[in-house]
């Protein structure tokens, strides 16, 4: 089964996560979702939430950047998905996807559970 790694090369945790996966024999397809050509759409983000087993996009919202784009405690899930699609910097990283499951790399070792 193919792995997809949502990667931001400017993030040290994302770089460490990729190295950990490679050290453990996982060579994922890398998706640089911060690049305009590889950004995630709202439907993809909803799918990722399901794969994470989450009921809300807040499960992988990067809180420290969310307020920069107007997301707060009163924001609806639809508003959050739209904001994530428009501003990928508010998506927590890294995320590893394998089939119908995904793992948020916080801590990075949790991604190895998909192996």
Domain ranges of the chain: 3-114
As annotated, the active-site residues are: 11
8 A C-beta contact, residue 103 and residue 113: yes
Residue 1's pLDDT is: 79
The 3-state DSSP composition of the chain as helix, strand, coil percent (nearest 5) reads 50, 15, 35
Residues 26-61: pLDDT tens digits? Answer: 999 999 999 999 999 999 999 999 999 999 999 999
Query: Which superfamily is assigned to 3-114 in CATH?
Result: Glutaredoxin (3.40.30.10)
- The model's confidence at residue 98, banded by pLDDT at 50, 70 and 90, is very high
pTM of the predicted protein model: 0.95
Peptide bond into 19 cis (omega under 30): no
Alpha-carbon distance of 39 to 83, in angstroms, equals 12
């Amino acid at each position: 089964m193919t792995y997809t790694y949502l990667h931001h090369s400017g993030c040290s945790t994302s770089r460490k996560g990729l190295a950990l996966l490679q050290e453990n024999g996982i060579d994922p397809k890398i998706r640089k979702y911060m690049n305009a050509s590889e950004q995630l759409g709202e439907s993809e983000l909803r799918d990722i939430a399901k794969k994470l087993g989450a009921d809300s996009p807040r499960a992988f919202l990067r809180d420290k950047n969310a307020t920069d784009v107007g997301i707060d405690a009163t924001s609806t899930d639809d508003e959050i998905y739209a904001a994530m699609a428009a501003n990928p910097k508010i998506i927590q990283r890294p995320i590893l996807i394998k089939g119908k499951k995904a793992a948020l790399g916080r801590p990075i070792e949790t991604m190895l559970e998909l192996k």
